[in-house]
Every structure is written in structure tokens, then in C-alpha cells.
Structure 1
Amino acid sequence: MDDPRAFLESLFRTAVTAALPEHCLPPHLPEPAPGRTLVLGAGKAAARMAAVLEQHWAGDPARLEGLVVTRHGQAVPTHHIEVVEAAHPVPDAAGERAARHMLALTRGLTARDRVIALISGGGSALLPLPAPGLTLADKQALSRALLRSGATIAEINTLRRHLSAIKGGRLAAACHPAPVHSLLISDVAGDAPWDIASGPTVADPTRRQDAQAIPRRYHIEIPAAMRAHLESPDSETVKPDDERLAGNRVTLTASAQTALEAAADTARAAGVTPLILGDGLEGEARELGRVLAGIARQARRHGQPVAPPCVLLSGGETTVTVRGQGLGGRNVEGLLGFGLALGPVPGVHALFADTDGVDGGAELAGAWWTPDTLDRAAERGLDARAALDDNDGHGFFQTLGDSLDSGPTGTNVNDFRAILIT
């Protein structure tokens, strides 16, 4: 392999391209409704999804309207669907205003109308609307605590749904009697619809008791009003048997598996055997890195579970318990854990990156690991172990010039990890 780094980046680019709205959305667009078609959406891919919908819409564009909210810096031009930018991962007032406006747009819908919901990862933070009696400031503080706690995304979103006036199926309920067709790009392990953007347009099988347990589990102190709300039946979300959601449709248009399969095809075409280890790997990022290092060593030494030249592919969403002063970032944290456990093994290169182009608190997608990473770090006076202890993977790889700066990609199907063994 002449340029392992370029090869790994080509796999990442292929994976991202497969999950772009222009490739995954058009086959699933519904037919125009007899009445209005209202488009509502939230997520890092929501603006691009809206633009693609307008481009491929089969009906009268004049009868197409709506609102989507995306992350700051990720808006794209649209003609009929309004695009609003808001903050991620900690919500802001712009997102709250967008959520209120979105609910207002549902008033007066009839059974002759249709709502198309464009939902992608990141929508939970981008569509914050506190339940009555709660404040945005409370939700912001909780978001910061949860992001540092090591809680899984499923746990975080369970809590978000039960503290919201729009998530957990409430937006779909507000659209009744108009049917809702939700088009999803998944960024969560397992692709549970209620976890994607905390499920504003789908039923939620979790209960408020599940949400109550999460702050206790991670020793997070929550305001008294928030605790009282979770103990009240008013916090319960819309359930699968709710008649207001009868007849609604949910379509998964792209996921981590979509991206991994595309990368695997590219690897085969280059004469490299791919092995997809899983599309929903979870756990502490550094610990998963150690496990992946063990698999890579086995492949390099014994040709198991696959013989070189090969590439180990995986997706999912790990967690980082932030204890240091670094920016976190689950992909660079996982890559440091991988590299330290692997050591200077020849013939092993890796790229860990987030498919949305943003890993943790840095505007960087991820980073590369090479057989000489530790040697180059030592030459610059960098201590990989200290960087991991300080949750400063981004600082470590930036100093080495090994960061991947992809910019916003326009989609989000979670982490992409590729380990090349030659």
C-alpha cells in the first residue's frame, strides 16, 4: 500500500458520501398530499435534506412549506422551507424559538394534509423546548453535565424526551389528524427511531421511571422543578398505542451500516479484505480502542479473524467521561486508547472520525494513527498517556499534524473507524 493514510481517508469519504441526503433520501419521498405538505425537521443533516426534498419534489412547489433547524454553519439555500441555525451540543435560545415556531405551524392541519419530518442526528440539542415549568437554562446545565458524565446517547435521549414539550412523539401528536411520514438518517446504535433526535415524531417505549434513574446513576444533581416534573405523569411521552400516531410512517434512509458497507465495497475494489466488526459499538471510547487494538494485533500476527491486507471497520457511538481539561472527542479519545494499547506495531494504520465532521468540542472530524505516531510524539515532547488522561486527544493529534479536518459533511451516521493492516 503506497499511501495508507490516503486510502483510509478514501474509505471515510466513501462512507460519508453514501449517507448524504442526495443519495439516500429521493427514493423514499412520499407522493404529494391533496392538501398542504408541511415539512418539519431537525438535525445536522436537516437543511441538506430539505434542499434535496425541494429538488426532487413531485408536487406543486407552491404548496410546499415548512421549517427545519440545523447546526450553526450548516445551513444550505432553500426556496420554500425555512432553515434556522441553532447551537449544538448545548442548546440555545435560537433552537428554542425554532421549536416553538414548529409547533405553531402544526395548527390547523387536516387529514387531507401531510407532514414530512426530516430527522437526523443532532436534532435533540437543536430542538430544545422545555416542558412547562422548566427553563432553557436548566436544560443547558443538564446537557453539559450529561456530556461529561459518560452516559450513553440512549440514556441522554431518554432523559431529554421526558423533559421536553416537543420530543418523545409530541410533535407528531400535535400534527394530528394529518399523517406524518418521518424520514430518518440515524446516528444512534441500533437505529431506534425514538433515539434519533430524541424521537419528536415517533412513539417512545421508555417510561418516566427510566428517565428518573439516569441522574442517580451518574450522580448528577438536577433542579427541584426538573425532579418534580419527572415524577409527574405529565412527563410521560407519547406511547406506541396512541391513536394520534396511527397511520404514520417511519423510514430509515441511511445509517452507520449504510456507510460501512460502502467503505467495504471500496476496500474490496482496492484488493483489501474488509471486515465489519459492528455498526453499533458502544462503551468508553478508550476501552473500545484497547479492544480494537487486540483484534488488530491478532490479525497482524495470526491472520485472524481476517488475514492482511485487510481493514477492520466499525461504527457506533462511544462515550467519554471527561475528567481532564481537554476538549474530549470520542474518536480521538478512542484512537489514543487504541494506539497506546497497540504500541509501535508495523503495518497498522488507523483513522477514527465522526461522519458529521465534528468530534466532541473541536471542529475536527478525527485523526490518523500510524506505526511511527509514538516516535514522532516523543520527538516533539508529547506524552500520549498524559494526553489521554487529560482528555486532550485533539491537542495531541493537532500538534502532530494528524488531525482530519473534513469540515461539515452534510450528514451524520455517527463514528467511523477503519484500521488498515498490511
Structure 2
Amino acid sequence: MKTHMIMALFTAMALFQTLSGQSNSEDHYVGTFSNSQSGLVLSMDKAADGTYQGFFQLQGQQYAFSKGTKLLGMINAEYQYNGQAFAFSLSRLIGEYYVTSEGVSIPVVKTANQPVAATKSTANTGNSSKTNTATSPTTISSGTGTKATTTAPAATGTRIADPYIGYSFQTPAAWNSQEQGGGFVLSKVGTQVSMSVSPHEYKTLAEMRAQVLDANDPASNTYLKAQTKEYGSNGLFIRFDGTAQGKAVVIEMISLLSPNGGGVTVAATGVKDQYGAEYTTLIKSMANSVQFSKPQTSSLAEQWKQKIKGKRLDYYYTGNGMADHYIIHICSEGTFVYKNDNSYSSNNAYTDFSYASAGADAGKWQVVAKGAQPTLILRFNDGRVWEFPMSPGKAGNEILLNGKRYFVQAGTMCQ
């Protein structure tokens, strides 16, 4: 529901209660309110003069307010950040509470009938000579088109680098990393949440945003709702909520653009009841640590690149009375299409290269030299990444990919 519709509904309900003479001696607005997904906590108390006071807390930062007043059944107040005032309201509609600030409303749950005490070391009233480490007020946001706060503690683990793609990042302390699928997978003993860092090929934020879609797959009982927010000046914060194969899950990711083209995505995935705000903070700390560099090239990688560029690689397999023929079309502009010959004979659509190159069995290719080992990397459009160590074959028109013989020949379907 749009924000202006929510606010209109709040006002209508408040006016109805006023006109009908409904009253209640209990003050529903005194207490502690929270939203578990965003980590928002609102503590509200009533002062002796009848006004409301308290603080917001989000990701370790607290923002104090006072002199809140009740108008049309809503509490209206202002919280302070570095001397600036930001308006917000707390509303109650048919037993449900909502916090609204800067045109965005999010639901909160009343978790206690008493307010909680502020932590003096982190409270920010805007009058202290010491300012906290946040560079901008924490954004209360929900849905597409808002900005996500980039504030997070610095990661303190090991710095991991992929010089061939051109990026490095800092891992969180106590998390182990393993190179896998063209990127890195992170894990920690005792947690069921997994994190990863992987490169992408997007050129613009608009191109990236266009690919963020809800997932609705009855066959696998997967239904995920997508939310997108801007992250700094060169990234997007993306969150998926829903079910995957029948399990309630949360997927969060931050995709950043590199000034050298492409970029990286930092992601975390977990079962919803085990996924807390601390994991949002962790992926932000990693994303904030990302450093981009110009991708390294080598004469060895360039030699192998020229050997397969614009060619088709054919692999034949015979066994158990069956024969298969797999083909990788290595296109000069950096794309590839992977199919077997049965696919072509049964589906005329794949004779159209523009159609095939957009499919799941297509993507971008790259040759890198990992030490003295040339490696072909295929990054599929559906997220798969295949890596093939390369070596010479017995004949001049053969190469070995991961030890298997492929014939290098003309006749690629690239245009």
C-alpha cells in the first residue's frame, strides 16, 4: 500500500474514534516498539507535562527526541541528528503500530509496556561535542526507491584479493573463506547463515536494478519478494523475503560497481528465524571494505585467449552405448554459448544467436593465469561459474580443459 494511502487511513481511523467518543485510559504509546527485520527499536515514555520523549535505536546508534505531542490519534515528534531535526510519527491502527519518517512507513511490534533506558555512550541528541561515527542519519526505509544506510563497523578479518578480476575485501573476524565458483564463500562455525563475495558483469545501476525481480516458482515452492535500495553512490542493497523450497528464508546482498567495469556482490543467506540484523551489518562491513583495482593480465593468459577467441570448442564423449557432443562457442566480444548438438537439432530457437546468448546456457568468458596455470572461466547468465584449467592437447587443434580433450575449430555461431 502506498504511503499516502496509509497516512490517509491513519487519519480516517483517528477521526472516527474521536467523533464516536471512544476513549481508553491506557496509553498505548508508552513502551518499547521494534521491527526485527530492520533492527529498529523505539523507546517512548510520557513526561510529567504530558508530552512524549525517548529515542530511536538502529545498528548501535541512538537518536533522542522529546516534546512529542498527540494529534489525530498519532504521536508526532522530532529526533535530533547533529543539530538537525527529523520528523516522525507513531500510529496505532486496529491494534497494529506503524512508524513513519520522511514519507516511509514500517510496521513495529510493541515488545514491552515500559520504555527501555538509553545507552548514554551511544545516544545522540545533537548537542554533544562528540559526534558518532555515522556520516548521515540512519534511514528508516522500506521497499523500492529508498536509500539504505551504509554505516557499519569495519571488518577486522583477513583481506582477500582476486587480482585477475580486480577487487579485494576484508572478511569479518572468525569467518573462514574458500575460493569457489569464481568467487569466495564464507562460513563460521556455529552459524547456519552463509555469506559470499562474487564478481558480476553489470555496467550500470539501472541494468542491475532491472534484474531484481520477485521469484514465483510453484514447482519448487519458492516465492520471494524483492526490495531494492540505493547503497552509497555506486551500489544497491537488495533483500529477498519469502520461502525457498518451502522454507522461510532471507537473502540480502549489496552489489557494487567497479570503475573498471563490472563489480562485486556481497551476499548473505539464511533461514529467517536465524537471520538477525547482525548479518546485515556484516555484509555492509564487507561491502564497505571492497577496493577495486585494474584487472591483471599476463602474456600467458593472452596467448591462450587468442588461441580460443572466436572459435568453437567441441567435446565428444562415448560411453555406455551412448554418444554426446558438447560445444562451447567462444565469441570474440567476450560472450559464450554452451550447448550440446541435440539441443540444436530439437530447438530451432538456438539457431538465433541473439536468443541463445541471453539464455541460461550462455554468459561471459575470461582467461586468467593463476600462477603458471592458464584457466578458462565461464560465468553463466544464471549465476553458475565454471573454471577449466587449460593445457595443450596432443594435436595442434586440440586443448585440454580440466584434462578433457576439446577440438578447437572454426564454425562458431557468434555474429
Larger radius of gyration: 2
Does TM, normalized by the shorter one, top 0.5? no
Query: Bigger relative contact order, structure 1 or 2, given CA contacts below 8 A and separation 6+?
Result: 1
**Structure number with higher helix proportion:** 1
TM-score (norm 1): 0.21
**Structure number with higher strand proportion:** 2
